[in-house]
Amino acid sequence: MQLDPRTGWCAGIRHCPSPNFNARPAAEISLLVIHNISLPPGQFGTGKVEELFCNRLDPCEHPYFSAIASLQVSAHFLIERDGTLIQFVSCLDRAWHAGVSAFAGRQGCNDFSLGIELEGTDEQPYSDLQYAALSNLIRELQSYYPQLTAERICGHCDIAPGRKTDPGPAFDWSRLFSSLPA
């Protein structure tokens, strides 16, 4: 995998362009937000996250989908349980992953962040393959965006406390940070 800094797309991974993005108000990328998602909740490998991010989720297919199918959301990346990495939005664009959020007193984290979704739930351990893919992706992103230091890698719960809980207590932050350069 290699990031093309001119396009913001990573070569060597699957691309599934989402329509749910817009231009960043500034070119600065200085925050990395880790999320989790599974659709239906607690089910993995369904392909429904991709459908949600591409506005193709059928609201009649599952009772949970009727409440979320009209949402226009995305993330830059998704890491599936088997470590498969999918990119939905160029790193140069603003994906719609953080919602109402703030980091270090700055509002609107979508403006200056990259969003990585892990296929999972707050309570179920993430797979070894996911941690390996996440670590590799973060190292690649850090080589182009040096402001993405350990202090600027956080969970959705950290930027939207009280509203969001992901990536949850099952996420092993020490494992992630020990796999990254100091």
In the set 117, 119, 123, 140, the catalytic residue is: 117
With b for 16 or more beta-carbon neighbours within 10 A and e for fewer, the 15-26 pattern comes to ebebebbeebee
Query: 93-95 and 21-23 as β-strands: parallel, antiparallel, unpaired?
Result: antiparallel
Mark whether 80 is an active-site residue: no
Whole-number Å distance between alpha carbons of 18 and 76: 9
Dihedral angle computed from the Cα positions of residues 60, 62, 63 and 64, in that order, rounded to the nearest 10 degrees: -120
> Could you give the residue numbers annotated as active site?
117
